[in-house]
Structure 1
Amino acid sequence: MEVTERTAVRLRTRKIKKDQTMIKYYLFLTLVIILLLVAALAPQIVPYDPYAQDLTQALQPPSPEHLLGTDRYGRDMLSRVLMGGQTTIYSALLLVAIITGFGTLVGLFCGYQGGKIDSFIMRVSDVFLAFPGMVFAIAVAGILGGGLINAVVALACISWPKFARLARGQVLAIKNMPYIAAARLSGSGSIKIVFKHILPNIIGPILVTATLDIGTMMMELAGLSFLGLGAMPPIAEWGSMMSEGRSMLQTSPWVILAPGCAIFISVTLFNLLGDTVRDVLDPKTNKRKRRKNESKK
């Protein structure tokens, strides 16, 4: 009787935790969707032209007229932050899509085919991983020259090996499973096996890693722009806006705090969403958490 009651309590506890996880997932997903919509609709909802200069309004503190103040050229900071969100967020999403797609394809090919090509590509990835990521990105961006596109290319060059290694490891773990052998015996070709049987079974960890990487890529893009290797003025981009206002931190702090807070909020939301996506899609992690909690009890 006591064992049955314990089992019932554990099942109820698991259900409550699962419901809480789903609530957090839908909450953070909703907040991220709102953030993306605000960024996408920025040209229609900005209260002022984010590029219109009015030196008579330069460095005005936050007020009812300009909620986040103005910069040194009299441009409304709220309008520039909203437009900067479109540039920063969607550039980060594009970057994550590129490195996830390319890295996953490379990992699928290497893991499934193996051999000398696999060894060569993995040694190339080792070269990229041997250097500190941001230092390597600065070097590549410096060679390519400034500009947002070049910053995306630079970060893509140093970020794809992580996804390639993740996909390769997942493929190696399942490519000799019985259902893969059955697919081969049924006459399925390599392309069909990879994309119909292998990819759907490894996509979960890849999606989790990609979601968690959005905030990281956003920070690194902003960092390159802050150093003058990303978006160039007068383009509204959070990193370059912080770079423009860094000399006025003591006299006009709102010029740098507004884009800084926007970066902090956006990165936090994407990281929280990534954590909840991991809890939902990664059953192994959930099992380990449950076992750890049960062992403590």
Structure 2
Amino acid sequence: MTKQIGVISDIHSNYTAFKAAAEYMIGRGITEFFLLGDYVSDTTDAVETMQYMRELMGKYKVTAIRGNREDYLLGQRKVIRGESDEPLWIYNSACGNLLYTYELLTDEDLDFFESMPISFKYDCPGYPAIICCHGSPENSRELLLAKDGSAESWLKKVDTDYIVAAHTHIQTELEAEGKHYFNTGSTGIAIHAPGQAQCLILHGYDENEPEGPSWKAELLNIPYDVDYVIDALYEKGLMDKGKWFIANNVYVLKTGKDITVDFLKKAASLQEEATKEPVTWPYIEEEYFTEAAKIVGIPDYRERA
């Protein structure tokens, strides 16, 4: 082994988890990082996350791309500037979390996101090339999963033997026909790992190794103070602004179980059934989120116990 790269993604404003993951890697001697997007939203500490990200980039070799959350925020800036006819965000369970985050960020932050690509090809002499992306190489919102064949399909498309991705919040290691797919999981809101910051270290083996050049992934789950992160949702006002969506995030942070997609779809379908009219996101009434939460099994964390 002659090279190590730390890979962190899906921080979701969880500065506490981000710092724990980065400091663990730095303690292991890591001096190069890939940051794969979704830096902010969903928890409170967007400002601290952006500051720490810039500090990391000032001290180490860091390659950063944007994720779908950054794309959402850039899209809302276009709405505010009159450059898009997409809906304005409001404080409700559908998008209050995003609006809260948007109001914490500066134009400098958004320009920073806009400067990032959604994927890149890592080429280092002596090592196999890697395609790095948030969702897929072409779409920050696309999910690459082992269970449905989408990750394997993309391995067949790319001209490298390795893809490193994120977005799913599910740590994954997949080999197909001699090619490899690694997913970091989520540093900030991990699935199947409550109270853990998920990330990975890429261990590089160069052309001088007996088996030839390769990359191996060390999947990591780093403990952090999740109770602070949950408390901050109440103390810093995000629960009041994001309502049921943030109650859902508390459920994920506490249990590692994620039923977010089912929850949001159920709220929209309940309103559609009741009004007999198509739902225009994000204009979903709170009563339907309340009903949806009961149906899918999300406890009412809107008030602190």
Higher strand share: 2
Structure number with larger C-alpha Rg: 1
**Structure with the larger helix share:** 1
Provide the TM-score with structure 1 as the length reference.
0.25
Of structures 1 and 2, the one with the larger relative CO (CA 8 A, separation 6+) is 1
Question: TM-score by structure 2 length?
Answer: 0.24
